[in-house]
Structures are given as C-alpha cells and as structure tokens.
A and B are shown apart, each in its own frame.
Chain A
C-alpha cells in the first residue's frame, strides 16, 4: 500500500497516444516550460530508425531510447530491462547524488498504456521500485474521428487514460472539437480532458453542446462502454467488497476498462484504481477527505448496470432492492 508521502519509489508517467497524435511535440514543450524538472525520459519507438530522441535531446535531462519494438508487446522485455537498469542505478546512488525521481515514458503510437502498466506491476522487482502516477493520452482532434471509427487501439488508449489532452485543436472548428470532446468523454468519463496546440496548453473554449459520434462496433465485437456509479451501502465492508471486486476483475477484467473510487477500510479511506485486470496499489487518502466516499465508478462493457448492483447484493447476502 502507498501513501501520498515520498515512499522512495520512482514516479512513472506514461505518455501515450495514437500514431501522429503529437506526443513528442507536447512533451518537448512541457520540458521546455520546465514542467517535469530533471525527469528521466524513456522514448519507445516501434520502428528501427529513431527520430524522437533527436527532437527531445536538447530539452531532456537524461534519456533512454528503446527502438525496434512496441513496449506493450514485442519490446516489453527491453522496457522492463531499461526500467530495471534505472532502478539499479538509482539504488546505487547516495541520497544526495540522486536527481529527480520522475520517469516519463513516451510510448510508441501503437502501444496500449494499460498493457505497459500491467507489465510493470507484474514484475517482481519493478513493483517495489516504481509507482505509476499518471497515464496521459494525447488525442489528435483532427484525425480522432477516423481513428476511433476504425481502430480498436485508439479507443483502448483513451480508455486507459487518467488525463486526456486533445491536440491540434487550432486546426478544427469548435463544433468538431465539441463532438470529439463528447466522444472522448463517452469513452472515458473519468478522465480529465485538456487541450493543446503545438504543445502549448490551450483553454478549452465554451464549446457548444454536441452529441458524441456514434462509434461502430468493431470486428472484435466490442460493445460500447457503459459507466456505472455504485454507492456502496454502509453494511458492505472492505472484506466483502474486496472479495467481490477481486472475483469480478478475475472473471471480467478484460471488459472492465476502468474501476475507480474511494473505499473506507479499517486503515482509512483507500483510493482504488484499476485498468482492466491490473489494480494499482491502493493509495491511502487523508481521513478528512469526505468527498465521494464509498462511491465506485465502473466503466466497462458486456453487462447491465443493474447486474453489478445485484451481484454485490448477493455477495453481501441481502436482497438487491436495498442497494
């Protein structure tokens, strides 16, 4: 379990987004503005000829390049080895010699951030040395509609994000931007949505109300995502809930895109976050924070909202009518 204080682990930010969504441009500008001071940058490119490193080299304090394989699949072993090497170097340094404890991983445009997160959390060494703090996903406002219509990967990337940045917003009209924003919001209602143009943060204007694009079912048969918020009744304790959620994630983890919420436990309120089958180590929140206590949001597909409530009712041994 982690607390919000510095626990000595390296902080990892995953920066993802579809091919050409502007990851390097955005990151370069962030570094230029001093947003990730002295962070170590890991750049992954699926192609064998790297380009991004030359763009970033001037701004980055230190950098590792992983080429010739996407870090979520073929290049996974290289990524794990590179992260282990970083942890190893850091643990040999004295506390004074250590620089920033932040790593930023710029994934290739073909990577699923959730798969990378799972790979790190299932590695026996990295799980003790690295804590994934944020997944930022960039969405190209100009091409998003086309990509979301045809590519399952571009949907999966958005679903895995904590923070979504719409890029190239200066190239689209307000109604288009509004529709893209609604579509992204529908795919991942829990994420914070921001905007940028050429790496520069842009305040999202007061956009007109727009309907989300109706995304077609893809050939892999994925149904649309459905967000469900469940208020946990007071008699459901942490033991019941954790048994239920662990069973749910084991059986339905691939359908549950995101689970997020705060649960009261004997040790204090815990922030629970899961992306598919991978659950992040719960973070303990200050006890004074009473907002959204015992409310859990499930974002997933392949079930009815009522099923979740009925099932939890079964686990606690009560009729569902009271949930």
Chain B
C-alpha cells in the first residue's frame, strides 16, 4: 500500500486483471480514463489517472476532485454526485445511432 495515499486499500478488484506488466497497466489506465471521459464529460465530470498509482481522480466541473481506487468506486462517486447511477442501458446510450467521438 502507498503510505502517501493509502491506495490500493483493497487489492484485487476484478478490473485489475488483464494486465501483467507495468506498461500494460499504465496503458490500460490511460485508455480507461479516455473511455470514462467520453461518458462522464456530458455529466460535468472528468476522470484521469491520479499519477501515482492505480485508480482514477474524478473531478467535477467545480474542480472538486476525489481519488478513487477502482472503476466501481468511480461509478459510486459519480452516482453520488449526479444523484443517480449512470446506467449504460438508459435510452441516451442505447437509442443513440452513433456516439460522439
């Protein structure tokens, strides 16, 4: 565990699987942040790698930032800030003929 930030507090989130070496892990983290932003930006939120370990830094449009250990925590925090969970099966995601790039 990192003494400065306390992460990862609970190692072994299922999304941590799939990358064996540091390069793959970093690449996966960057790519996930990119995909998260495609969704979160429309809610006034943005995610980025925190720069010192696993997880994401989730910022609201006011600049308030939360450090989160994994994707599940990101969805939880987003739901808390927005007031409802971001549902991938909501009409805005399932009815769109083409997604914004």
Contact across chains for A313 and B99 when beta carbons are under 8 A apart: yes
* Interface residues as binary, B73-94 with A (CB distance below 8 Å gives 1, 0 otherwise): 0011001000001111100011
Q: Of B10, B17, B31, B39, which contacts A267 at CB under 8 A?
A: B17
Total A residues in contact with B, Cβ cutoff 8 Å? 42
Known: A250-B76, A311-B93. A243 touches B71 (CB 8 A): yes
Shortest Cβ distance from A322 into chain B, in angstroms?
11
Known: A252-B87, A265-B17, A267-B18. A242 touches B32 (CB 8 A): yes
Chain A contact residues: helix, strand, loop or mixed: helix
Contact across chains for B19 and A317 when beta carbons are under 8 A apart: no
Contact across chains for B89 and A251 when beta carbons are under 8 A apart: yes
Known: A246-B71, A251-B89, A267-B24. A318 touches B99 (CB 8 A): yes
In the complex, A97 has a CB within 8 A of chain B: no
In the complex, B36 has a CB within 8 A of chain A: yes
Contact across chains for B72 and A251 when beta carbons are under 8 A apart: no
**In the complex, which residue of chain A has the Cβ closest to the Cβ of B32?**
A239
Shortest Cβ distance from A311 into chain B, in angstroms?
4
**In the complex, which residue of chain B has the Cβ closest to the Cβ of A280?**
B14
Which of B19-40 touch A at CB < 8 Å? 19-20, 24, 27-28, 31-32, 35-36, 38-39
Chain B residues near A (Cβ < 8 Å): 10, 12, 14-20, 24, 27-28, 31-32, 35-36, 38-39, 71-72, 75-76, 79, 85-89, 93-101
